[in-house]
Chains A and B, each alone.
Chain A
C-alpha cells in the first residue's frame, strides 16, 4: 500500500515564476492537507481539501497561493509569482476520515522549494 506521494521532491524557481507542487494521497484517503515548514520549525497548516472542495483555507496566504483536489488526479498546491520568502518545505498529508478525535494524518516526504 503506497504511502502519500509528493513530487517533485526538490523544486528550484526564480523570483516571479510559478511553482506547482503535487500530492497523491494514500489509497482510499479522500482528505488532503497542505503544510509549510521552515528549517527547525514546526508545521504551519495551510489548507484542507476534500475531493473537489476546499474545506478550510484559513492558513493560506490570500494572494498568489491556491490549492485544488480534483475528482481525478493529485492535489495541487500552486504558488504564482514566487518570492524568496516562499522558500520552504511543503508537506502534504492525507487521512481517510474527516478531522475527529481519532484523526490521524499520514505525511508525504515533502517538496523543498528554493526560490533564487
Chain B
C-alpha cells in the first residue's frame, strides 16, 4: 500500500510556466519533506514542513502543508530548465514513507 500518492506522475512544461505538484495521503504525518532528484543522483532535501497549514517559500518554490497534515503541495513559479528532475514528497509517521514521485521536464 502506497501511503503517499503524488500527482501528476509526469509533467512537461515550457520554460516560464507555473506548475503545482500534489502529495496526498489518508494518513496523518508529523512532518513532511520534499526532495528533488536528478538523474543518476540521490535525492536532495528541499524543505521540511511540520505545522498544519504551514507555508514555506524557497525562491520560486512554495511549499504548503495541509491543515490536517495529510497532504502537501509544491508550486513552482516561472519554471526553468534547471528545475527538471524527480520531485519526491516524504512523510514521517511510524516510518519514513516516500511518495510515488513527479517527474518534471522544463523545456527551454
B50 and A101 contact, CB distance less than 8 A: yes
A103 and B92 contact, CB distance less than 8 A: yes
A45 and B95 contact, CB distance less than 8 A: yes
Q: Judge if B52 is at the interface, Cβ distance under 8 Å.
A: no
Query: CA A4 – CA B92 in complex, angstroms?
Result: 21
For B47, give the chain A residue with the smallest CB separation: A104
Query: CA A93 – CA B103 in complex, angstroms?
Result: 21
Interchain nearest-CB distance for B97 vs A (Å):
7
Q: Judge if A105 is at the interface, Cβ distance under 8 Å.
A: yes
Could you tell me which residues of chain A, from 12 to 68, have a CB within 8 Å of some CB in chain B? 33, 35, 40-45, 48, 56, 58
A58 and B95 contact, CB distance less than 8 A: yes
For B102, give the chain A residue with the smallest CB separation: A42
A45 neighbours in B (Cβ, 8 Å): 95-98
Query: CA A44 – CA B99 in complex, angstroms?
Result: 9
B33 and A44 contact, CB distance less than 8 A: no
Cross-interface CB contact of A41 among B48, B95, B101, cutoff 8 Å: B101
Q: Judge if A107 is at the interface, Cβ distance under 8 Å.
A: yes
B88 neighbours in A (Cβ, 8 Å): 42-43
Residues in chain B within 8 A of chain A (CB atoms): 6, 30-31, 33, 35, 40-45, 48, 50, 86, 88, 90, 92, 95-101, 103
Residues in chain A within 8 A of chain B (CB atoms): 4, 33, 35, 40-45, 48, 56, 58, 91, 93, 99-110
16 A-B pairs besides A106-B45, A109-B40 with CB distance below 8 A are A41-B101, A42-B98, A44-B98, A45-B95, A45-B97, A56-B95, A91-B43, A99-B92, A99-B95, A101-B50, A102-B48, A104-B33, A104-B45, A107-B42, A110-B40, A110-B42
